Amino acid sequence: MNKLSIINEIDEMLNTYCEGCFVRTQIRKDQGKTAAHRFCISNCTIGTQLQFLGNELNKTGTTK
């Protein structure tokens, strides 16, 4: 994958799944911003996919 396709995929996932996410909004309201962020990183399936894509983006940045 090239950088542009990875960035486009990340952007599409954020717009499709993360914008207006009820779970994130509710956790943020009940427990705060840090807890919501922690949930997205560790428990959300979309968050783990975003982490994978971010790692792939880092790999493409270091190789020529």
d(CA 32, CA 18): 17
Tokens representing 63 are 């190789």
Q: Treating both helix axes as pointing N-terminal to C-terminal, what angle do 33-42 and 45-62 enclose, rounded to 10 degrees?
A: 70
Mean pLDDT rounded to a whole number for the chain = 92
Higher pLDDT, 61 or 18: 18
Q: Which residue has the tokens 């990340």?
A: 10
pLDDT at 34 over 80: yes
pLDDT at 64 over 60: no
Share of the chain above pLDDT 90, in %: 88
Helix (H) or strand (E) holding 19: none
pTM (predicted TM-score): 0.81
